[in-house]
Structure 1
Amino acid sequence: MYRALESVLVTGGCGFVGYNIVAKILEIESTCQISVLDRPSSLPQFPTVQYFDVDVSSKEDVMAAVRKIRPRVVFHAACTYSLSLPPETHFRINTQGTVNVLKAVQTLGITKAFIYHSSSSVIEDGVSSFVNASEDFPVLLPPEQKFPYPHSKAIAENYVLSSNRKHGILTMSIRPTGAFGEADTEMTQRLLAVARSGRANVQMGDGKNLYDFLYIGNLVHAQLLAADALLGSQALTGGDSESEEKVDGEAFQITNDETWLFWDFTRAVAKESGYPVKRNEIKVIPMWVGMLLAFFAEWAVWILSFGRRESNLTRHGVRYSSLTRTFNINKAKKRLGYRPLFSMHEGLQRTVKWFVENEQKTK
């Protein structure tokens, strides 16, 4: 299905996206030499994978590791996205970390493909809804962009795409929408905790807002299609930079191609985990009340944790849960041949099963 990768570097391979990329490569290409550049996490490490305990924001450490790894393909998934972190942390890891990794592989003369794990949020302002958004939508920068995470990702994406065809490397950016799945310690784990606490019946707003989600198995499929397209692309010199078939130097939005109501998704997670919510049990909370509750929750957690933790209920999260966010992925379908391998229901089943099995292992 995919071309042989041979030698791969996965940055952020101890995190949600990177971990799943590594797992899939091991499944489809057992002889591939896989190296991970990341700080260790609670996720298990694969015995045949070489791990480098490196902070991507350290230029020297990244360079030393890359010289040992000498990868043919790079999946750059290392990033941080917690809203509780200061802006400088986002730019140190998401932006400077990307620059460090790309500059390091540029010095080798070996790497052929660099796939950047971006975010659909680079075209969002965090407060406005949009329908059927395509890659033609402008990438937002301040003052339109008020949040450090998408700002840091947007700058990094621009650097990656503007580096295309330099030093013999083809680059691409994959922009996933809200991803869920195995090893997701953010959205999925939080929704499971909400279901188990009996609060999955709570809904903020009228619940009519549509949303595009993405199962991790389909995101990994898109990443591998990206590598396949770059490795099989036209010669590095020449070619029509405006071609409708062009893949290198391009950004691609990826969804499950299956739009859901946002709150139907949260209740689907609860149902799959054994805590179904009946329609007559749904408690609708007006948005202004939700924002007020989130305000007090944020401050309470901040004070009690001395600023070290983020509240599960945030004003940004409440606001986001009321927005309509749908994307047009025709570009990925046409140029990458992307089609989801798993439906939303299949993804939810696989996700909850993974969490249940892993929780049993730790007991």
Structure 2
Amino acid sequence: MAKENLNNVLVTGGDSFIGYHIVSKIVQTNPTCKISVLDLPTSLPRFPSVQYHDIDICDKPSVLAAIKQIQPQVIFHAACTYSLSLPAETHTRINLHGTLNVLEATQSVGTVKALVFHSSTSVIEDGSSPVINATEELPVLVAPEQKFPYPLSKALAEQAVLSANRKHGMVTVSLRPASCFGEANEEMIEKLIGVARSGRGNIQMGDGTNLYDFVYVENVADAHLLAAKALLRAVNQPPAEEQRVDGEAFHLTNDEPWLFWDFTREVAKQAGYEVKKGDIKVVPRWVGMSMAFLAEWSVWIVSGGKEPGLTRYGVRYSCFTRTISCEKAKRRLGYRPAISMQVGIERSVKWFLVSKKDSLKI
């Protein structure tokens, strides 16, 4: 069992959403573990017991120097960009090239036994079609099938990570959360609160019958630690194929699908802007797509490329079913979501109302 203990870990992206929660979970559950973070500073508070390296993941020489100095046993690679509004080259530079920098550094330092990669279920989605109870057996999409830059960059990075498994003394795994929410989640919760504050929380695109799988960030952090310990067990004693973790990808959800628009309205309710059933205004999907098309062109003409608040991509995602199976993670990692959707929403909204009450977007 001693070989499974986390004693010297590096969390890339540890000053940002997913990475911050991984650091917090290790601090809580492994108080003797040496924790280092490689990230650029953000507004999130830092932990006194953690060593921070203020480094851009795209700066290869600095990444190499930091990892040589830290000599980690385990790396949780969570550094990435999430915003769909960023240009394709930004996703490629951070999500793909940043990952390649980390992999190159691990090969040179020689101390890394396990690497856990934060991926996304979007690597199996084309962004235009529904997915129903999707498993890891579905193919990872790359160009030309994958037309969106964020999932493409994550897919290529994941391929590189899994290809590095059992090389240079290191085992690797990829975790693919579904739509992840929680404290410090500016891409989802903060925006939904802003929509509710603006009085638009009653707008619904489509008929509202589409189920969606989400996952609360603390459950994702739990899964990262489970995966790391499973990898450390597998370094010297690979398990039977049906229980294999290294070289594998795992979907993560709350195992509790919600109707997409019920989720958005629960966020509004917890923020103090409850939407009564009779106040819901349904916008047919085709109307939403037309509105988004006009919004995209209007903003493009004015700004020359800036993305509007309403996009066809967003309308599609809010209208189709997106359910993901996490049975493989449950079987092989022992993953069980400890925090329910309802509790996760309540915690997330409370954090934003307290921490960012003056800066929530409208």
TM category (shorter chain) comes to: over 0.9
The answer to whether the 8 A contact 2:72-2:112 is kept is yes
Q: Is the CA contact 2:83–2:187 (under 8 Å) kept in the aligned structure 1?
A: no
* Per-residue CA distance 1:87-129 (angstroms, 9 max, x = gap): 2221111111111101101211211110000010000000001
Counterpart CA distance in 2 for 1:197 and 1:293 is 18
Could you tell me whether the CA contact under 8 Å between 1:190 and 1:312 is conserved in 2?
Answer: no
Residue 266 of structure 1 corresponds to 264
Q: Give the equivalent residue in structure 2 for 1:253.
A: 251
SS at match of 1:244: helix
Indicate which of 340, 343, 354 corresponds to 2:340.
Answer: 343
Shift of 1:243: 0.7
Kept after mapping to 2: 8 A contact 1:130/1:325: yes
1:50-106 superposed Cα distances (whole Å, 9 cap, x missing partner): 222212122111101111111111010111132322222211111111111011012
Distance 1:139 1:196, change over 3 A: same
Asked if the contact 1:114–1:169 (Cα under 8 Å) also holds between the matched residues in 2, the reply is: yes
TM-score using structure 2 length: 0.94
Residue type at the aligned position of 1:174: L
Structure-2 residue corresponding to 1:185? 186
The secondary structure found in structure 1 opposite 2:319 is coil
Task: List alignment gaps of at least 5 residues for structure 2.
Answer: none
- Please give the alpha-carbon distance, in whole angstroms, between the structure 2 residues aligned to 1:301 and 1:341: 42
Structure 1 residue 304 displacement after superposition: 5.5
Task: Give the corresponding residue for 1:359.
Answer: 356
Q: Does 1:322 align with 2:315?
A: no
**Shift in alpha-carbon separation, 1:304–1:14, aligned structure 2, 3 A:** farther
1:269-311 deviation line (CA, Å, top 9, x unaligned): 111111111111100001122122223333444555564x532
Residue of structure 1 in register with 2:204 after alignment: 203
1:287 aligns with 2:285: yes
Following superposition, the deviation at residue 362 of structure 1 comes to 8.7
Measured in 2, the distance between the counterparts of 1:136 and 1:14 equals: 33
Does the residue aligned with 1:92 lie in a helix, a strand or coil?
Answer: helix
Structure 1 equivalent of residue 331 of structure 2? 334
Tell me the amino acid that sits aligned with residue 267 of structure 2: V
1:135 corresponds to 2:133: no
Matched residue, 2:113: 112
Number of the residue aligned with 1:97: 98
User: Once the two structures are aligned, what percentage of the paired residues are identical?
Assistant: 60
Larger CA deviation: 58-67 vs 37-46 = 37-46
Provide the C-alpha distance between the structure 2 equivalents of 1:286 and 1:351, rounded to a whole number of angstroms: 30
Counterpart in the other structure of 2:38: 37
Distance 1:31 1:118, change over 3 A: same
Paired residues for 1:143-158 under 5 Å: 143-158=144-159
Whole-Å separation in 2 of the counterparts to 1:128 and 1:329:
20
The aligned runs of 1:14-33 (5 Å cut-off) are: 14-33=15-34
Aligned CA distance change for structure 1 residues 74 and 361 (closer, same or farther; 3 Å) = farther
Alignment length, in residue pairs? Answer: 359
Q: Provide the residue aligned with 2:224 in structure 1.
A: 223
Larger mean Cα displacement after TM superposition, 292-301 or 110-119: 292-301
CA distance in 1, matches of 2:183, 2:246: 29
- Structure 1 distance, partners of 2:43, 2:18, is 14
State TM-score, norm by structure 1.
0.94
CA–CA separation in structure 2 for the residues paired with 1:138 and 1:68: 38
Is 28-37 or 188-197 further displaced after alignment?
Answer: 28-37
Aligned equivalents of 1:65, 1:334: Cα separation in 2: 36
Q: CA deviation at 1:21?
A: 0.8
Q: Which runs of 5+ in 1 are unaligned?
A: none
Query: Matches of 1:108 and 1:96 in 2, distance apart?
Result: 19
- Name the Cα RMSD after superposition: 2.0
**What amino acid is the match of 1:119?**
S
Amino acid at match of 2:268: A
